[in-house]
């Protein structure tokens, strides 16, 4: 099989021919149809992610495909079942072995490209907004990076949850994508303009930030009392520094959030969230946006779209 593989420490990832794996205890073998790309894939390949595997490994965090075989002691999902799986690695390949407990059957109405784009982006936004920030109907939600992989889902989910959504993104095209996802207000990704426009609206109750840097600082300054700020990531490359005395003055809460961490200590949160998200999808309330679908031999082009922030929504690699 072909795989986008890191063979040794310090070696660059490359398309490689590998033997097809066999599922071990607790695992399923999946014939992979599609793999969703995430900003975290770039960090893993650079060796800077909090859960970077030791080489050798195959990149790719989330997949959709068809169960081919079950490992010892595994009762399901049965071979032939279409599933989505968050494996953390192993997705950019034609076959992969993943924990059976992480496999989510795809609804009939969801194709594999959509399934591969769904779990991390929608799961991150839903657990962050519903479980961590306790977003309530009528509150004002600011989404930074609002046309990106996770940001766009935060816009959608915020609207489903009844929030007034302010979308901040770079350029008219990206702001237009956020508008189509339901944003009520559009703000260019300029720190001074963001601060001014957000204050004119009356401030934010919840800030969803996968960007960091100067935009976080501007949003922080325009928060309402008792606002909650969700730290999702640092696509800008700059980790903000927070002055604790400013938290005190407005009674603000800054909350770190890492979706994958819940797999280890609260898998029930992930399970319940994905069940809700699948229901919303089947009801037509969520419409995943995939801007690029590329074959496996163009995976580096797909990663570069994320690196240069030229994509909107998700980039997906299709295996065949």
Q: For each of the chain's 320 residues, which pLDDT tens digit applies?
A: 999 999 998 899 999 999 999 999 999 999 999 999 999 999 999 999 988 999 999 999 999 999 999 999 999 999 999 999 999 999 999 999 999 999 999 999 999 999 999 999 999 999 999 999 999 999 999 999 999 999 999 999 999 999 999 999 999 999 999 999 999 999 999 999 999 999 999 999 999 999 999 999 999 999 999 999 999 999 999 999 998 998 999 999 999 999 999 988 999 999 999 999 999 999 999 999 999 999 999 999 999 999 999 999 999 999 98
pLDDT digits (tens, 9 = 90+) for 79-130: 999 999 999 999 999 999 999 999 999 999 999 999 999 999 999 999 999 9
Q: For residue 56, give every residue at least 6 positions away whose Cβ sits within 8 Å of its Cβ, in sequence order, or none.
A: 5, 6, 7, 8
- C-alpha to C-alpha distances, 90 to 126, 129, 165, 233, 313, nearest whole angstrom: 25, 29, 35, 22, 22
Mean pLDDT of the chain: 96
| Contacts with 215 (C-beta within 8 Å, 6 or more apart), sequence order | 144, 168, 189, 191, 194, 209, 236
- Give the list of residues 6+ apart from residue 307 with CB closer than 8 angstroms, or none: 42
Fold of the CATH domain 2-118+288-318: Quinone Oxidoreductase; Chain A, domain 1 (3.90.180)
CATH number for 121-260 (one of 3.40.50.11540, 3.40.50.720, 1.10.1740.10, 3.90.1150.200): it is 3.40.50.720
pLDDT digits (tens, 9 = 90+) for 138-181: 999 999 999 999 999 999 999 999 999 999 999 999 999 999 99
For the chain, give the number of residues.
320
Cβ pair 56, 6 in contact under 8 A: yes
Report the Cα 92 to chain-centroid distance in Å. 16
- The whole-number pLDDT of residue 82 equals 98
**Share above pLDDT 70 across residues of the chain, in percent, rounded to a whole number:** 100
Domain boundaries, the chain: 2-118+288-318, 121-260
Cα 288 to chain center, whole Å?
Answer: 12
d(CA 244, CA 148): 29
- Residues sharing a CB contact under 8 Å with residue 47, sequence separation 6 or more, in sequence order: none
Distance between CA atoms of residues 78 and 83, nearest Å: 10
**Three-class secondary structure of residue 309 per DSSP:** coil
User: Taking the complete model, does pTM exceed 0.85, yes or no?
Assistant: yes
């Amino acid at each position: 099989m072909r795989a986008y593989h890191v063979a040794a420490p310090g070696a660059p990832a490359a398309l490689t021919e590998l033997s097809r794996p066999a599922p071990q205890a607790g695992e399923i073998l999946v014939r992979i149809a599609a793999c969703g790309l995430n900003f975290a894939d770039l960090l893993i390949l650079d060796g800077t992610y909090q859960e970077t595997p030791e080489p050798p490994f195959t990149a790719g965090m989330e997949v959709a495909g068809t169960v081919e075989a079950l490992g010892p002691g595994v009762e399901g999902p049965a071979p032939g079942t279409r599933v989505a799986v968050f494996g953390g690695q192993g997705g950019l390949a034609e076959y992969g072995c993943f924990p059976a407990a992480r496999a989510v059957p795809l609804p009939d109405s969801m194709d594999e490209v959509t399934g591969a784009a769904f779990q991390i982006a929608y799961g991150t936004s839903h657990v962050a907004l519903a479980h961590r920030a306790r977003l309530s109907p009528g509150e004002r939600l600011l989404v930074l990076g609002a046309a990106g992989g996770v940001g766009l889902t935060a816009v959608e989910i915020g609207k489903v949850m009844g929030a007034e959504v302010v979308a901040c993104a770079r350029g008219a095209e990206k702001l237009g994508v956020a508008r189509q996802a339901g944003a009520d207000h559009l703000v260019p990704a300029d720190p001074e303009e963001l601060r001014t426009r957000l204050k004119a609206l009356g401030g934010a109750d919840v800030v969803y930030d996968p960007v960091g840097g100067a935009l976080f600082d501007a949003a922080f300054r325009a928060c309402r009392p008792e606002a909650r700020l969700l730290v999702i990531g640092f696509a800008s490359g700059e980790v903000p520094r927070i002055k604790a005395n400013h938290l005190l003055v407005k009674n603000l809460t800054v909350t770190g959030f890492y979706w994958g961490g819940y797999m280890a200590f609260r898998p029930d949160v992930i399970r319940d969230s994905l069940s809700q998200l699948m229901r919303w999808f089947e009801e037509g309330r969520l419409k995943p946006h995939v801007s690029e679908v590329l074959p496996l031999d163009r995976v580096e082009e797909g990663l570069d779209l994320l690196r240069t922030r030229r994509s909107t929504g998700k980039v997906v690699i299709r295996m065949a």
